[in-house]
Amino acid sequence: MALLRTAGIVLAATGVAHFAAPKVFEPISQLAFPQDTQALIKRNGATELALGVAVAVDKTRKAGLIGTAVYAAWLGARAASNRRSA
């Protein structure tokens, strides 16, 4: 469980980094979100922060893991869809 707690903290920190240094996330975010990239970087940061906290906390870990899996699938689908369209 310590590994999952650590993974949650890392995910939450990544979410915070979206706000602290959004330019770092711009190149990868443009693949999935070619329009309005800056706003979606912030939304993704908030999502990753919330999911990371959920994974880090024992009582919400299961929901956090499910949410993280769904979020990762959604991001991958967006990137694949936009890559085909390009």
Per-residue pLDDT of the chain (86 residues; tens, 9 = 90+): 899 999 999 999 999 999 999 999 999 898 888 889 999 999 999 999 999 999 999 999 999 999 999 999 999 998 888 877 65
Question: How many structural domains compose the chain?
Answer: 1
What domain range includes position 41?
A: 2-85
The three state secondary structure string of 6-75 is HHHHHHHHHHHHHHHCHHHHHHHHHHHCCCCHHHHHHHHHHHHHHHHHHHHCHHHHHHHHHHHHHHHHHH
Model pTM score: 0.91
